[in-house]
Structure 1
Amino acid sequence: MVDYTKTFTAAAVQAEPVWLDLDGGVEKTIALACEASGNGASIVAFPETWIPGYPWWIWLDSVAWQSQFVVRYAQNSLELDSSQFERIRQTAADLGIAIALGYSDRVGGSLYMGQALISSTGAVLKTRRKLKPTHVERSVFGDGDGSDLAVVDSEFGRLGALCCAEHLQPLTKYAMFAQQEQLHIAAWPSFSVYEGAAYLLGPEVNTAASQQYAVEGQSFVLAPTGIIGQAAYDAFVDTEAKKELLKLGGGHARIYGPDGRSLASPLAPTEEGILYADIDYREILAAKNAYDPVGHYSRPDVLRLVFNGAAQSRIVNTEVPEAAWEDALTLAPAGDD
């Protein structure tokens, strides 16, 4: 049974990552979690690939130029069985604050756009990967699978998360809505690439996507974002042309209610800080009275979603009976070893 009586304070981060620095990113994560906890938040949400920062170089120059970042980015990506992830998990437990973390997820030599939902006791409720990286992100990150579109039970009721332009995927959103999501983490990078030349990558479209998600799903939405600061320029911007492609700022963190209202005053696009809002799930019931696209406002006799939510293994082990091996050897052409 879904509980609509919960009230708590939630927080969304707007800050610059510690670029290409796993340990530095962990330290800043802990500092911001401490700040949010000290200000009364029960959960704090971090931007997309917060650790070790979003790979902005993929939008700025040739593959040959980008190659200087490939190894450093992989080395500073987060492994879930690492001491660094354990420190973040332990911080959540020590502070009694839940953490929704965005990170580059390294498994072997492959990277994925990861999110982790960690409870206030330090329990890992869910880890997920972006189902389909967007545009040139595919040159860095692999795909997730259906198990990554999941809403889980938590101390905040039904909790879920998506990354960035996943909020522009109608079927992805519907799969989440159908799981009775109440609190949603909409993690974004910053919005300042190709400013004035690619409107769809800018803040108007993407903050609207977070707001529309809240209205369509009748859920509260925490939408943290990163910032492009001088540290990013020092790392990635080595020409005047690149300064035109990637502007300083781009921070547009938001918190939305299930009726689409903005619940926290935005910070300036260049300002680091944390947004806070009081959450009351009774407002979800009011919103669902008007719109519930997976309930009374649906027509499953006309439109339905086919959803494969199973995890996909890249290796399927099958046992071949010993007799089959013997038959194969018997039938092998003469002279074969």
Structure 2
Amino acid sequence: MEKEFKVAAVQAAPCYLDLRSGVEKAIGYIEEAAKAGARLVAFPETWLPGYPNHIWLGSVAWSMQFTQSYFENSVEAGSDADRAIAEAARRNGIQVSMGLSERDGGSLYIAQWHYDENGNVIQRRRKLKPTHVERTVFGEGDGSDLAVNETALGRVGQLSCWEHLQPLSKYAMYAQNEQIHCAAWPNFALYNGGAHALGHEVNNGASMVYAVEGSCFVLAPCATVDKAMQDLLCEGDPQREALLRLGGGYTRIYAPDGRSIGSDLPDTEEGLVFADIDLGLIALAKAAADPAGHYARRDVTRLLLNSERQRPVVHFREFAGEALPEAESDDEQPVTSEAAE
């Protein structure tokens, strides 16, 4: 396992409600990150096909005009879009953490899919609890989505947005010795400062605290709002100025001591934020405070975690006169480069 390498986080507007163009744009960033020497690139929350800002801008009835298009442009596991991202990861020899709206049957989920440098899927996770009006669009994940995975770059985990305000979920991740964390965020452009908790100060602060608490590196990609999205969602200048401003991208990369170590981009500019990381620094941080290790008091407080995947239907078969659960795999088949070809 390498200890020192470059990572990248995306700051860019999605191709809103246009999955085909979004995948093409994503592949461009994957190629750019790899060409610059990055070994891992992380994308913002639901960057495919874009974060559904419309649910924050009007009534549920008004936002329903976008429902069908958002559903149709969301991503299914094993689809052409999935295979294209896997092939881009393989072709460029880079790990990819992709934030997307996952379509499964008739439901959508806020998801993060982690592809390794060979194009195999390491994990498909879902946000455990959509936040506020997100619940009008997305379903819930379960305890199997609180997972840290061993990779060629170290132990990598993922969470989305305000999952970083859930102390117990964070602790479940820290306890798995996470070294690199992909924190997917939407744009910070809503309400033009009228809701401080939704702004970049609070949410970048959450990513910074995660890095310090977990003694890990945090990649915190954040999307932007472009004029095309603003024109589609806002009716007139008052809405543009008050509800959804241009920009709102505040992508950061944090070290285990809380320092912002990435290159800087203005919040209205699209591009990649890069940082060189050294996993050896984690030992220094954890020597001071390892929240699930020597700094814990298991005799006082402990976490109860149900990490089983929850299924809507469990099939039974008859065996030796007893009803036993039918064997079925808990894991998705990996999307390999062979499948992409």
TM-score range normalised by the length of the shorter chain: over 0.9
Q: Give the match for residue 278 of structure 2.
A: 280
Q: What code does the residue aligned with 2:135 have?
A: R
Work out the CA distance in 2 between the residues paired with 1:283 and 1:34.
Answer: 28
Choose the corresponding residue for 1:170, options 142, 167, 171.
167
Q: Give the match for residue 139 of structure 2.
A: 142
Choose the corresponding residue for 1:158, options 120, 142, 155.
155
Any unmatched runs of 5+ in structure 2?
322-341
Q: Give the match for residue 262 of structure 1.
A: 260
Single out whichever of 232-241 and 72-81 deviates more from structure 2: 232-241
Give SS of 1:242's match: helix
Q: Give the match for residue 223 of structure 2.
A: 226
Q: Give the match for residue 299 of structure 1.
A: 297
Q: What code does the residue aligned with 1:57 have?
A: H
Q: Give the match for residue 27 of structure 1.
A: 24
Instruction: Give matches, 1:169-188, under 5 Å.
Output: 169-188=166-185
Q: What code does the residue aligned with 1:275 have?
A: V
Give SS of 1:226's match: coil
Work out the CA distance in 2 between the residues paired with 1:231 and 1:42.
Answer: 32
Q: What code does the residue aligned with 2:60 have?
A: V
By how many angstroms is 1:248 displaced?
A: 1.0
Give SS of 1:225's match: coil
By how many angstroms is 1:101 displaced?
A: 0.3
By how many angstroms is 1:118 displaced?
A: 0.4
Choose the corresponding residue for 1:37, options 34, 38, 41.
34
Work out the CA distance in 1 between the residues paired with 2:58 and 2:114.
Answer: 34
Work out the CA distance in 2 between the residues paired with 1:316 and 1:27.
Answer: 38
- Detail structure 1 runs of 4+ shifted over 4 Å in the superposition: none
By how many angstroms is 1:48 displaced?
A: 0.3
Instruction: Give matches, 1:94-105, under 5 Å.
Output: 94-105=91-102
Work out the CA distance in 2 between the residues paired with 1:34 and 1:316.
Answer: 42
Q: Give the match for residue 309 of structure 1.
A: 307
By how many angstroms is 1:235 displaced?
A: 1.8
Q: Give the match for residue 336 of structure 2.
A: none
Q: What code does the residue aligned with 1:300 have?
A: R
Identity %, equivalent residues: 53
Give SS of 1:302's match: coil
By how many angstroms is 1:195 displaced?
A: 2.3
Q: Give the match for residue 232 of structure 2.
A: 235
By how many angstroms is 1:320 displaced?
A: 7.8
Work out the CA distance in 1 between the residues paired with 2:182 and 2:15.
Answer: 21
Work out the CA distance in 1 between the residues paired with 2:222 and 2:99.
Answer: 10
Single out whichever of 195-204 and 296-305 deviates more from structure 2: 195-204
Q: What code does the residue aligned with 1:44 have?
A: V
Choose the corresponding residue for 1:210, options 197, 207, 217.
207
Instruction: Give matches, 1:191-206, under 5 Å.
Output: 191-206=188-203
Give SS of 1:232's match: helix
Residues 315 and 35 (structure 1), Cα distance of their counterparts in 2 relative to 1, 3 Å cut:
same
Q: What code does the residue aligned with 1:206 have?
A: N
By how many angstroms is 1:247 displaced?
A: 1.2
Work out the CA distance in 1 between the residues paired with 2:192 and 2:138.
Answer: 24
1:11 aligns with 2:11: no
**For the pair shown, which has the larger CA radius of gyration, 1 or 2?**
1
Q: TM-score, normalised by structure 1?
A: 0.92
Q: TM-score, normalised by structure 2?
A: 0.91
By how many angstroms is 1:239 displaced?
A: 3.1
Contact 2:263 2:275 (C-alpha < 8 Å) held by counterparts: no
Any unmatched runs of 5+ in structure 1?
324-337
By how many angstroms is 1:245 displaced?
A: 1.1
Contact 2:99 2:184 (C-alpha < 8 Å) held by counterparts: yes
Work out the CA distance in 1 between the residues paired with 2:77 and 2:239.
Answer: 34
By how many angstroms is 1:234 displaced?
A: 2.0
Q: What code does the residue aligned with 1:237 have?
A: C
Contact 2:76 2:103 (C-alpha < 8 Å) held by counterparts: yes
Give SS of 1:221's match: strand
Q: What code does the residue aligned with 1:33 have?
A: I
